Structure 1
Amino acid sequence: MFCDVCLGVLQRHENRQIERQSEQRTMSFGHHRNRSDLMLAAESGCYVCVVVWRTVSELPPAFLYTEKMEEELIRHGCKQDTLPNEDILVNLGDNCYTHAELCRHRSRSDYFELRIRYGQWNLHRTTRTPGEQVLVGQFSLSRLAASDATGDLGLSGSGASQDTLSEQALQHAERWLKNCCDSHATCSDEKTMADMWYPTRLLYIDSAKDERYRVRLIHTAQERPTGNYFTLSHTWGRLQFKQLTRDTILEFTRGIPLSDLPTTFYEAIFVTKRLGVQHLWIDSLCIMQDKDDLSDWSHEASLMHKVYSHSHCNISASVSVDGSQGLSRKRDPAKLYRPRVSLNMDGFDTDVDGEYLNHELSDNWLWENRVTGNHLNKRGWVFQERLLAPRILHFSHDQVFWECRETRACEVYPGGHHSLRRADCPIAKFKSYFRGGTLTELSTSHSATDLEPYNKEDYHNLWRRMVESYSSTQLTNPLDKLVALSGVAKVVSTFLGATYVAGMWRETLAEDLCWSNPVHVTTETTWSYSSLYRAPTWSWASTDYSVVFLRAQDTRFTLDVKDVCVQYGTNDTTGLVAGGWIDVAGPLGPITLSLKKGQDNLPGHVLWRIDIDKTCTEPQPDFIVMLNVRTSDSRRFEHDNVAGRLFFMPCATRRGMGSNFGMNALVLRVVEPDGGIFERVGMAYALRVGGLGDGQNPRVPTDVDEEIKARLPCLRYENGIHTIRII
C-alpha cells in the first residue's frame, strides 16, 4: 500500500516544485511536510515511507549536505567548479521534510526511479539547478504487462508462514540450493570424493528413529566424511556456552547434548539436516578454544579460506547478537509483498504521455538494509566468510535471502531481482571471479554470457574496494585486523603472483599507500591510539577507522618505493605483523598542523590544516588533513610543531582546470632524525595547487631553499629528492 502523499507524487503529480532536463526526464515534488507525518505514514504501512523512515531515523543529527559532499570530494577528487564555498547555496524556503524525484530512464520509457531525499531544498545560485540532499530512499518502477497488472504479489495469503524458519521458507532454500547446483555454470564445481577437502574437524549430524538429532565431533583425518558440509556464520556476543577445549574434546567426540548448545547452533543443525547435509562446521565447536594454548587456533585460522570456500553452503545468523537469539524470526507476511501502482505518465515525453500504466515498485536498498546492514555482516571475520562461501542463506529480520555467484534472491523475489544485484559491488564482483577456491581469469558478473577479460589492474582496484568495505567492519580483538582478511589475501596473492605486505601489494605500493580516513572530526573527538601494534603506520591496517583509497583514474602517483620489509608474528605472511618499514623517495618539506573550525553550517566540526613552512617560495595552497587517528585537541601537535618534527611528502597529483593541480601528500612525523625514520600521521589533500613547474608536474608547495632541503632528516638526499624510512 501507499500513503496519500506518495500516491500524490506517483499518480497526481501534486506539489510539483522543480523540473530539469538531463539524460533522464526528472520531476521533483514536495513530499512529507514534517517528521511526524513521515513517521505516521510508515506506521500505517506505506511501502515507500517504511523504507524512508528507517533511513531517516538512523541519520546522525548533524548530517548535512556539506558533510556528505566533502567526504565525496576526499574520496573521489573534485573538479574546481564543484568545490563548495560559503555562499553558493540558497534556500528556497519551502518547509517540506522530504522531497521526491520521479525520473525516467534516459533510454527506456518503461523504467522509472523514485528517489526520496531528506533536508532543505537548495539551488546553486548561478546554475539554478537543484543542490545535493541526503538520499534516504531509492525505488525502481518497472512496467507490467497487461496480464500481470492486477494485485500485489508477496507472501500474504492462505498458508503464508509466520516464521523465517518455517517449512515454507526452507522450501525456498531447498529450491535455491538445488537450482544453483543443477543449473548455475558459475557456481558448479564438480568434484570427486578424492578431490573433496574437509576441515580438520566437523560436526556429524545423525538422526535417530524418533527424529531427534544426535551430534558428535569427528576428526576428518581419522573418520573420512562423505558428501558436503555446511558452515555457520554467527556472532559470539557475551553468551557463555560450552566450547571445544582440552577438557571437552573427548565428550564432544562421543556426542554433544543438544541441550548444551545455543539456540543458533541448534537451529543451524536443523537447517543443515533439513537440506540433506550431514556435516556442519561451527568455529567454537571445531577449533580448540583454550586461552593458554593458541596453537590450534593459529593453525585453523590459516585455513579459513579453505573452510569456507570448500563448503557447500554457509548459514548466516544475520540479525542475532549472540547464540541465544537463533535464526528464526516472527514476521507478518502481509508486510512482505511486491507493490504495484498505476503511474501517471504525463509530462515524461513518452509514447504513452498522459496515460496511466501499471508498474511494480521495488526497493533498490532492500539488500543493503536487510543483508549488508545487518548486525552480523558488520563483523570483520564475517566479511571474509561471505566473500569465500560459494552459497549463503541469510536469515534476516523478516525473510530468508539467498546469495551465490550467479543469483541473489529472497522469499519475496524467489527468482531474483535486478534491485538485489545492485548492492555490495566489491563483494558481488569478487564472488563472480571466485570459483572452486581460486580466482578465475574471466568474470561472469551476473550471467554466463557477460564475460570480462582478465586485467591485473582490475584485481588490484577490486582489492582496494574490498579493503574499503572491510575497514568499516568491527572486530572484538584489534589484533585480528589482518588475520580476519588473510583468507582472501591468500586467494588474491596466489592468483596474481603478487607479494603481500601488511594489507597491500609490493607491486602497487605507490597507489596502495594513498589511503585516508575521510571522516569529520568534531569538538567531542578525543585522541584514541590503539596500544596494540598490528601494522606499520603506512598500512591502512594500523587504524581503527574506515578508509578510502584514491581512485587511479586521471591520477599520477608520485612516490618512488625503494624497499619494503615486514616482520611477521607467525609463519603466515598474510596474518599477524610484528613490525615493518618502507623506504620511499620524493620531495620532503617542513610543515606545522593547526586546528580550525569547520564551515558555519557544520557547527561543532573542526578541520586540521597544513601550514607550510614560511620559507616556502610558492603561495600556500589550502591543504586539509585526514589524520590516521582522529582528535580535536588543538594541543595535540603543539610540541611537534615547535620542535619541527612534522613533514609533508606529495604522493599523488591530478590535473585540474587551467594551471591548477589537485595534490595528495603523506603527513609525517620524524621519530629518529639522524636515521631518517618517520611515522605516518595522516594524508593531506588540496584541490588547487598552482604552477605548472616543468610543464608536466606541479611545483611542490614544499619547495624550500636548497640549503634547507639538504638539512632535512632523511636516509639520502640527491637533486631535490629525499629518501626516507616510514615505520
Structure 2
Amino acid sequence: MLCDTCYRMLHHQAGLRENRRVELRFDHHRRISTLREAAESGCSICSALARQLEREHFIDLGAADQNIHLQAALASICGREWKRGYYSLDFLLDGRWMRTFALRPRTSTANSWWGLIRRRKTQHPHQHAAHTHSPAVFELAQRWLSNCKCADPTSSSPSSSPSTRQEQYYPHRLLDLDSIKRAIASSSPSSPSDPIEPINPQTRIHLLETRSPHWQKTDPSTNRYVTLSHTWGSPSPPTTTTTTPRLLASNRQALLTAGIALASLPATFRDAAVFASHLPGVRYLWIDALCVVQAETPTAFVRQSDADADALGADEDWRVQAAEMDRVYRNAYLNISAAVGDGGDAAGGGGAGGAAEVGLFRERNPAALGEDEVGVDVRGLLELDGDGDGDGYEDEYDEDDELDGGGYDRGRGARRRRRRALKACVKAGVGAVLGCLRWKKKKQQQHVKRCSVVDVALWDDLVEDAAVNRRAWVYQERLLAPRVLHFCADGQLAWECSERCCTERYPDGVPGLQLKSGVIVSEERVKDLEPVEEASLPDASLEDVNGDLEKKEEDDDVVVVAPRRLHHYELWKRIVEMYSQKELSRQGDKLMALAGLAKFFFDTKLAPGWPPVPQQRQLPQQHPYVAGMWREYLEVQLLWRVEPRFEDGWIHNGTRRYPRRAPSFSWAALDVPDGVVGGEYRDQNLLFRVEDVQMKYVDSRNKFGLVEGTGCRLLLDARVVQIELHEIEPVFITPYGWWVSGGKAPSFMDMYTDVYLDSPTDDGDVFEAGAKIFCMPASTGEGGTKQSPSDCICLLLQLIGEAEGRRAFKRIGLARLSDYESEKFQQDSKDVQSEKMYLY
C-alpha cells in the first residue's frame, strides 16, 4: 500500500516544488513522525526509506520528533535497454541521494475491466498472512520448490546423472526430524492465514551418523535433507549464561542416544527444524553447530588424544567436514537462510541475540508485502524517449493497442479485433444483467500513467545486505546449494535459485533491476555466478583456433584463452571479486571458507582434460589450485589489485594483511572491505613467467584448503627495476608516486602515480629510508609488444632477502602505466636483464 503523502504526490502532483522539464521535484515528508507513521502503516516506499535512513544513521525513528528535508525527483528513464514508459523516482535527504524506485508501466488493457479478467487467469493469487509460520507461507515455499527445475540429487529426472540417482549422498551427521513430522501429522489443520499449531517443546530430535554401521539407508526421494545458513558472531569465550547447545566431543554420545529437546535449541534452529518438517519428502536437517564437532572453547580448536573414535577432536573433525562442504550443500534439497537479525549468533560464538535468538517465525504487516500500483501524473515532464513534441502528452490510442507484454507483435490487428468482439459481448451481457449500467468508453488521459512501484534495492535490502549474507562461509553455501529460501528481516520470504529470484511481493519473479552509477539497469545476482551448462558456451571456430596457434607460435608470452576456458576463468574472477568482500569471524578461514566451492568448480569445469595446454607439461605434477587462484593462466591471475575507496575528497584503503594464512602474491592474504579487482583475461603480452609453484599445506589431504602462507612461493623468470616509492602530500588526490632509482626526485608531474598498494597500513615500512622496493613489468595491453608497448601493468615488490642463491620478494601492490609512461619506463630500464627470483 502507499501512504497518503506518496499517493497524492504521484497521482495529483501534490508538493510539486520545481519543474525542471527532465524531472519533477517534490517535497515529501517534512517530519520524522509522519515518515514513521507511514512506514508503520505499511507504505512500501516509506518503509524502505525509513529502514535505509535509520540504518545509515541519518535519522533515529525512536528519538524525539524533528524536521527533515526529504524530497522526491520523478524522471523518465531513457536508454537503449528500456522500452518507452519507465520512470525513476529518486529520494533525497537534504539534497543527498538516498534511494531509487522504478515506476514500471502497466498497459492500459491490464487496467481495464477486460484486463482484470485476463490477469486473474494468468497470475497466481497469493494471500499474505500475518505470520511467517502459517500454512499460506508454507504453501508458497512448496510452490517455489515444486516449480524449480534446478538439478535435484534425489530426482529421477533426466537432468540427474545415473550415478547420482542410484545412491544419494548424505553428510556424515544429520539431525533426524521424524518425531516432529509425526507430531505435525497428528495435529489439527490450520486455516491458511492462522499460525500453525505449535509443536510440543519437549519433542526431541536425534543426531545420526551416516557412516555408522547402524545407519540404515532410506529412499532419498522421500528422505531428503535440508541445510541451514546462519550467523556465528564473534568467537568470544562462552559464559555461564550461554545455554546454546553445540556438538562437542564430550556430548556427542548423548546427542546420538537421547537427542535434544526443541526447547533447548535457539529460536532459529528450532524454527528451521519445524519448517523443514513441514516440507514433503524431507526427513533430515544439517546444522553446522550440531553436525560438526565444535571446540570446547570457541577461540581455539582442541585436539583430543584419545584413540577411541568417540573422542574425535574438534580440530580434526572440522577439517574432515570442511573438505566435504561442496557435497554437503550441493546435494541438499534446500538451504534455509536465516537472513534475520544483525549478526551475533549464540550458537556459534557465545554472543547473545542475533539471528539465533530472533528466529525464523515472526509476525509481519501483510499490507506491506503486496505490489503497489498508482496512476502517475506526468504532466510537464519531458518524455526523453517519446516521439511527440516533448510536452508530456501523446496521441490517443485504443486501450487494446498494447499487449500484456508491453510491446507490439505481428498479427496484432486480427487479435485486437477478436478481443474487441469478445469484450463487446462481455459488456453487453453485464449491461443486460445490471439493466441500468451504461458502458461508455472513455478516452484515456495520457498524462496519467498506470504504473507499479518497484523498489530497485528490494533484493539488496532483503537478501544481499542481510548480516548472514555478508559472511564468507554463507557466500559459498549460497552458490553451492541448488536452491535457497531466505527468511528476511522484514518478515518476508525470498526464494533464490539459478532460474529465478522471488519474494512474497513478487512470487513469480523479482524484477531484475539495480541502480548502477546512478542508472537503473538489469541486475546480475549471486546465483548468476553458478557454472552454466557446457552446451551453452561457444566453441572456438577453426579460423579462430588457427589464428590463436599462429599467434602463440610467434610469441609464447601471448595469452590466448579458448572461449570455454575464458568463460570458466572469468566466472572464477567474478566469484573471487565478490567473495573477497565478505566477512569472517575467524580470520584464518579465508581459504577454507572457499575450499568447497573451489573443489566443486575444478571438478565440474577445469578437471576434464587437465592440463589443457600441451606446452604446460609441468602442470600434472603440481596441484591446480594455488591459494585462491589456478595454475593455468596463473600469470594473469597474479595481476589483481586493491581498488581504494574515494570518499569525501580523500582516498581510503583500510585493507589488512594476514601473512600466515596466504602468501603475499595471493589476494587471500588480505582482508579488503570493498573487495579486490581481478586480472583481465585479454590478449596481452606477458613480460614474466611462473616456472614453478611450491605450496605448503596445513592438511595435505585437502589442497583446496588452508596453507601456511610464509611457506609458499613462486619461482619467476622476470625483470625487476629498483624504484623509489613516495607518499605524496595530501594536497594531491593521488596519494603515492614512484620513479626509477638513480636520479633525483622528480616533480609530481613526472612521477608514476597510478599506484594500488595492497595494504599501506601493514606495509608502512615500504616508505622508510633504505626500503628496497622494485617494479616488475608484468604485461602490456592489447596491441602492445615488447618492442612497442602500449599501457603496461607492473607488480610492486619489496626485497626481503635471498633463498637458494636467488633474490626473494614479497608483493606490496600494483602499478599501471599509460602508453607514454610505459615507453618512458622502458627507456629507463632497458639495460635490466631478466632473472630467476622467488615471490613469497
Give the TM interval when normalised to the shorter protein: 0.7 to 0.9
Structure 1 325/532 Cα, relative in aligned 2: closer, same or farther at 3 Å? farther
Note if 1:174 corresponds to 2:104: no
Larger mean Cα displacement after TM superposition, 357-366 or 298-307 = 357-366
Match for residue 564 of structure 1 among 693, 697, 700: 693
CA distance in 2, matches of 1:242, 1:182: 34
- 8 Å CA contact retained: 1:52, 1:137: no
Show the counterpart of 1:465.
Answer: 574
Q: Secondary structure at the match of 1:643?
A: coil
**Range with greater deviation from structure 2 (518-527 or 257-266):** 518-527
Q: d(CA) in 2 for partners of 1:107 and 1:547? A: 29
2:530 corresponds, among 431, 437, 461, to 431
What per-residue deviation string (whole Å, max 9, x for no partner) do you get for residues 112-163 of structure 1?
A: 1415275999xxxxxxxxxxx967324251323434469999xxx9974222
Shift of 1:426: 6.0
Query: 1:112 matched to which residue of 2?
Result: 86
Q: 1:43 to 1:685 in 2, by over 3 A?
A: farther
C-alpha distance in 2, partners of 1:403/1:373? 15
Q: How does 1:340-355 map to 2 (within 5 A)?
A: 340-344=373-377, 347-348=382-383, 349-350=386-387, 353=394, 354-355=446-447
1:648 aligns with 2:775: yes
Distance, in Å, in 2 between the alignment partners of 1:382 and 1:410 is 20
Corresponding residue of 1:500: 625
Partner of 1:280: 285
Kindly indicate whether the alpha-carbon contact (under 8 Å) linking 2:692 and 2:715 is maintained by their aligned counterparts in 1: yes
> Higher mean Cα deviation, 360-369 or 415-424?
415-424
Q: Secondary structure at the match of 2:233?
A: coil
Which residue does 1:690 correspond to in 2? 820
Which stretch of structure 1 is more off in the superposition, 458-467 or 140-149?
140-149
Superposed displacement of residue 308, structure 1: 0.3
The corresponding residue for 1:680 is 811
Distance, in Å, in 1 between the alignment partners of 2:688 and 2:138 is: 54
Deviations 1:489-524 (A, max 9, x none): 112212212621110011121221121221248999
Q: 592, 596, 600: which is aligned to 1:491?
A: 600
Deviation by residue 1:61-110 (Cα, 9 ceiling, x = unmatched): 9xxxxxxxxxxxxxxxxxxxxxxxxxxxxxxxxx9976554214547545
State the SS of the aligned residue for 1:317. Answer: strand
For 2:459 and 2:158, the matched residues in 1 are separated by 21
In the TM superposition, what is the alpha-carbon distance from 1:675 to its structure 2 partner? Answer: 2.5
**Distance in 1, Cα, partners of 2:316 & 2:88:** 54
Match of 1:610 in 2: 738
Identity of aligned residues (%): 26
Distance in 1 between residues matched to 2:99 and 2:810, nearest whole Å: 40
Tell me the residue number matched to 1:580: 712
The TM-score, its normalising length taken from structure 1, stands at: 0.77
The one-letter code matched in structure 1 to 2:86 is F
Deviation at 1:31, TM superposition (A): 5.0
1:378-437 deviation digits (Å, cap 9, x = unpaired) = 00100000001011110001200111221211111111133379887362223362xxxx
Going from structure 1 to structure 2, the CA distance change for 1:387 and 1:551 (only over 3 Å counts) comes to same
CA contact (8 A) 1:426 1:465 kept: no
Show the counterpart of 1:146: 109
Q: Give the RMSD, CA atoms, in angstroms.
A: 4.1
How far does residue 527 in structure 1 lie from its aligned partner after superposition? Answer: 8.4
In 1, Cα distance between equivalents of 2:575 and 2:635: 18
Larger CA deviation: 279-288 vs 162-171: 162-171
The residue that corresponds to 2:725 in the other structure is 593
Q: For residue 270 of structure 1, give the secondary structure of its aligned residue in structure 2.
A: helix
1:376 alignment counterpart: 468
Quote the Cα distance in structure 1 between the aligned partners of 2:273 and 2:487: 14
Please tell me the residue identity of whatever aligns with 1:406. E
Structure 1 residue 442, shift from structure 2 partner: 3.2
- 2:250 maps to 247
The match for 2:231 among 219, 235, 240 is 235
**Which range moves more in the overlay, 505-514 or 482-491?**
505-514
In structure 1, how many angstroms separate the alpha carbons of the residues matched to 2:531 and 2:138?
A: 25
- 2:761 maps to 631
SS at match of 1:573: coil
User: Which residue in 2 is equivalent to 1:726?
Assistant: 839
Match of 2:209 in 1: 219
CA distance in 1, matches of 2:8, 2:682: 42
Report the equivalent of 2:48.
51
> Which is worse superposed, 624-633 or 3-12?
3-12
C-alpha separation in 2, matches of 1:232 and 1:193: 24
Name the TM-score, length of structure 2 as normaliser.
Answer: 0.67
**How many equivalent residue pairs?**
634
Q: Please report how far the alpha carbon of residue 16 of structure 1 lies from its aligned counterpart in structure 2 after TM superposition.
A: 5.6
Q: 1:520 to 1:660 in 2, by over 3 A?
A: farther
1:68-107 alignment runs, 5 A limit = 99-104=73-78, 106=80
Aligned residues of 2:176 and 2:206 also touching (Cα < 8 A): yes
1:81 corresponds to: none
Larger radius of gyration: 2
Amino acid at match of 1:607: P
The amino acid across from 1:325 in the alignment is V
CA 1:44–1:314: 2 relative to 1, 3 Å: same
Asked if the contact 1:12–1:344 (Cα under 8 Å) also holds between the matched residues in 2, the reply is yes
Partners in 1 of 2:137 and 2:501 — Cα distance?
15
> Are the equivalent residues in 1 in contact too, given 2:92–2:99 (CA < 8 A)?
yes
- Corresponding residue number in structure 1 for 2:168: 196
- Deviation for aligned residue 1:329: 3.1
- 3-state SS of paired residue (1:44): helix
One-letter amino acid of the structure 2 residue matched with residue 259 of structure 1: A
Structure 1 unaligned runs (5+)? Answer: 20-26, 62-94, 122-132, 434-438, 445-452, 692-697, 710-716
Bigger mean CA deviation after superposition, 365-374 or 329-338? 329-338
